[in-house]
Structure 1
């Protein structure tokens, strides 16, 4: 058995239905076989039955899992691997426990897991949110949050704020929406919204999913308003670059550096970081972004620290000495912190993991004001575990540590409550970057004291119950089509 992760650079923080965090500061050679007597007996054989896969899962979980002391002495290894994995998770079904494991996950294909963590997936390029169409919860409507440039959805003319009510001629219902939205191709029946009233039209748009590499830097621009030079960036996933043969280049980290270099050249003295749809990703990229923003920071200052289980901590203390679980900022020539006294972060319930790490990690060094709605509350991280021998095809992303900032604060499992609450409208959303867009407009008002458009209340039609979001499928987000009732394992 081998794990596929790096100590510090590969660190990932996960998101909302699950987004990750992978960590470490160098390739590790820690072998669970030396710490879990006899548990790897079957992992060197071809994985043709549940037992061999489950023994592999169990060995790694007993060593790396954050709550490894909570694993039962003799779990049922005859279960299907995904159910076996879930049976090991700490207090998984106890919704009353906010500190339970809500985010560990597993996939049958480790290759697909790794690709998704790198921003590559089979997608139409359209991210959306699903709502019940009415309070009676009889049918479902989809609202487009954003569209990836160059994707099939962009080519079809789909844009943020578009609304669809049917797929392939069929209404979206609670029992059918997952299979309908998994169709290829998808023919979307569009609707119009006038004064908050939803009306179905005869217009349809057809898209087919393709394997697509997402650029996480969706938008960057600057505004000069009221004597302020405001930098604005929409960043949707923490991905260092394009992955090839398991290794990422620095394409997207370098793009961020270039964006902030431009901000610095233009004299940006206020910054709005839009993480409303960012479920997390690699902590190396979170460290990179924080190092471009932080005020009075350098490579000697702590960005965040990891708190692992006692087994790993004891081993790594001996192997690497003190400081192995601490990540400092890095020195960045494009850092704009000297011109900033504060940072505004736009958030929703899809803001998670590495995104929340930005908020928590920068607060000891500057004022960080969140605008929007409460974040996910993922203060824990995970590592990618796979069998490099190829005998076991599964890959898993178990939680392995808790994160804390330079002041030791880590207690945000219930999420960060916004300083200014602003709800995104269900319908009639303005384009991202439009200064009259709800969340950005409020940030500009907080910065300049000038409200560019009237702040309207949220109508009753815009408080419909949420069903799911496609963002929950992204890198580590698990699957938005999860069953509502999870089978408990005794």
Structure 2
């Protein structure tokens, strides 16, 4: 009996020893090597990435980290990116960051006329300090005439340099006439992220609020504007998000609260992640307080408690701006005017090395959640289609914002009931350049870089 017991123990010992001998230790990579960084990237994506089940089993971890990261992204992922704060060259570039303006290159229907249209100039920027303004026409970039063939190339040239030159032109009789050049040098810019106006038309008091983005603190800043609107007893509100590429979900929730006055516990947003992340619902108060820039009770004291809001949109309305539209809909009649939005129904949070002995400098911004409103409505990857279509390029030159001659503002005011006053004004249209086709849009590129961020 003892002999049998001894033999059984020996067999078990040998089996365990064989099993342990075959099991491989986790790979150890030299700190700072590509493999070391890429191993961290892969492990993080396997835990958080929305499409983590599509990640490849076998990978080459010796690649450049940014190339490695891009190679792992799902075919449906249009927005995830990674940057290294220690390497400025790893950050996405934009006209806004370089020079402080955005423009579109457009062509006439027959393709014979191609020119740039300045859409937005930041209030204190290299562009504004050199006299560039909304509505200016660009005939040349760095001395080269804009054409359908080189529009993208010339836009990229502006982004890779720290200086550039624009040739401004007048548009006369369906042709361009050069009038002056503007030299641009990369420099500091100060934004005016919110513009406020009140229109008194047809015995109606109409509030207008332009919001340039949803960066941290925007909702707190907007409370003073909503206080003005509240004191003026406005009849309607127009929120202009046409150039808003998004930002923080907390800021979108804060503005939603200022518009609606919804109680703290009102369901606002549903996050759906992978099997690790699951599904969670967050109230408007929780969301608005997420980045700790405001107290939701202040929002309730300041909010307008509207049952209807008019929102202006374009193809560069994205991310948190789309959240404001989609997630107000269960509670407020949201009337959209403009063009179909960008279609970012996804969110991220920053993934970085949080250890005291930080050995990885890279920061990832991968897509982690799909988004929907309190009713479960989402899936707007193709964009949110406006109820009323309007194109700001149907009336040239573009007017300074806010202007009653702007097609989007004019259309919204007409819906509100101020159209009789507008009929007397009339918009200044340039009929010789009808049916313009957009070839490039510098602001659209920025929307690719703005992922809706939540606080993890």
Q: Is the 8 A contact 2:116 2:139 kept in 1?
A: yes
- The corresponding residue for 1:61 is 45
Q: Alpha carbon RMSD of aligned pairs, Å?
A: 3.1
Matched, 1:128 2:113: no
Which of 87, 109, 114 is 2:71 aligned to?
87
Q: TM-score, normalised by structure 2?
A: 0.80
What secondary structure sits across from 2:188 in the alignment? strand
- Cα gap change, 1:154 to 1:104, in 2 (>3 Å): same
1:142 to 116, 120, 126: 116
CA, structure 1 residues 274+450, in 2 after alignment: closer, same or farther (shift >3 Å)? Answer: same
Whether the 8 Å contact between 2:84 and 2:91 is mirrored in structure 1 is no
Q: Post-superposition shift, 1:459?
A: 6.5
Is the counterpart of residue 270 in structure 1 residue 231 in structure 2? Answer: no
Match of 2:134 in 1: 160
3-state SS, counterpart of residue 86 of structure 1? helix
Q: Once the 2 structures are TM-superposed, how far is the Cα of residue 169 of structure 1 from its aligned partner?
A: 1.8
Q: Is the 8 A contact 1:380 1:403 kept in 2?
A: yes
Cα pair 1:113 1:475 within 8 Å, conserved: no
Residues 245-292 of structure 1 show CA distances to partners (whole Å, capped at 9, x for unaligned) of xxxxxxx33211111111111111200000000011011111111110
User: Residues 377-404 of structure 1, C-alpha deviation per residue, up to 9 Å, x if partnerless?
Assistant: 1111011122345532322211000111
Aligned residues of 2:246 and 2:317 also touching (Cα < 8 A): yes
Give 1 or 2: higher helix fraction. Answer: 2
Q: Structure 1 residue 234 and structure 2 residue 210: aligned?
A: yes
Instruction: Give the C-alpha shift of residue 83 in structure 1.
Output: 2.4
5 Å matches for 1:309-320? 309-313=274-278
| TM, length-normalised to structure 1 | 0.75
Once the two structures are TM-superposed, the CA of residue 176 in structure 1 deviates from its matched residue by 4.0
- Report the CA distance shift for 1:228/1:449 in structure 2 as closer, same or farther (over 3 A): closer
For the 8 Å contact 1:342–1:368, the answer to whether it is kept is yes
**What is the distance in 2 between the residues matched to 1:116 and 1:136?**
31
C-alpha distance in 1 between matches for 2:442 and 2:432: 21
Deviation, 1:154, is: 1.4
Distance 1:342 1:40 in 2: 58
Question: What is the distance in 2 between the residues matched to 1:469 and 1:367?
Answer: 32
Flag the 1:39–1:278 CA change in 2: closer, same or farther, 3 A: farther
Q: Name which one, 1 or 2, has greater alpha-carbon Rg.
A: 2
* 2:165 match: 187
Matching residue within 387, 399, 417 for 2:367: 399
Question: Aligned partners of 2:242, 2:220: CA distance in 1, in Å?
Answer: 22
**Does residue 180 of structure 2 align to residue 203 of structure 1?**
yes
Do 1:115 and 1:121's aligned partners in 2 also have CA atoms closer than 8 Å?
A: no
Tell me if structure 2 keeps the 8 A contact 1:120–1:214.
no
Q: In structure 2, do the counterparts of structure 1 residues 177 and 359 end up closer, same or farther at CA, with 3 Å as the change threshold?
A: closer
Contact 1:39 1:55 in 2 (8 A): no
Give the number of aligned pairs. 406
**Whole-angstrom distance in 2 between the partners of 1:372 and 1:458:** 20
Query: Equivalents in 2 of 1:391, 1:84: separation in Å?
Result: 18
2:315·2:340 contact (CA, 8 Å) conserved in 1? yes
The offset of 1:140, in angstroms, is 5.7
Task: Confirm or deny: 8 A CA contact 2:206 2:234 kept in the other structure.
Answer: yes
Alignment partners' CA distance in 2, 1:368 and 1:209: 39
Q: Deviations over 1:169-209 (max 9, x none)?
A: 223424344124543332211011236x2413141112212
- For the residues of structure 2 that align with 1:224 and 1:114, how far apart are their CA atoms? 48
Of 434, 440, 453, which aligns to 1:467?
A: 440
CA distance in 2, matches of 1:423, 1:449: 20
Question: Following the alignment from structure 1 to structure 2, what is the Cα–Cα distance between the partners of residues 77 and 302?
Answer: 43
Determine if the alignment matches structure 1 residue 302 to structure 2 residue 267. Answer: yes
- Answer whether contact 1:379 1:411 (CA < 8 A) is retained: yes
Classify 1:470/1:377 alpha carbon distance in 2 versus 1 (closer, same or farther; 3 Å).
closer
Contact in 1 for aligned 2:118/2:136 (Cα 8 Å): yes
Q: Distance in 2 between matches of 1:121 and 1:179?
A: 14
**Unaligned regions of 5+ residues in structure 2, if any?**
1-23, 286-295, 452-456
Partners of 1:47 and 1:351 lie apart in 2 by 39
For the Cα contact (< 8 Å) 1:264–1:334, is it kept in 2?
no
Q: 1:177 to 1:328 in 2, by over 3 A?
A: closer
Q: Which residue of 1 aligns with 2:403?
A: 434
Could you tell me how far apart the structure 2 residues matched to 1:200 and 1:271 are? 40
Q: Distance in 2 between matches of 1:132 and 1:344?
A: 30
Q: Which residue matches 2:12?
A: none
Q: Which runs of 5+ in 1 are unaligned?
A: 1-36, 92-99, 242-251, 318-322, 479-490
- Higher RCO structure (Cα 8 Å, ≥6 apart): 1
- Residues of 2 paired with 1:444 and 1:63: CA distance? 48
Give the direction of change, closer, same or farther, for the CA distance of 1:365–1:470 in structure 2 (3 Å limit): closer
Encode CA deviations 1:48-75: one digit per residue, 9 max, x unaligned: 3x22221121111111101111111123
What's the offset of the Cα at 1:82? 2.3
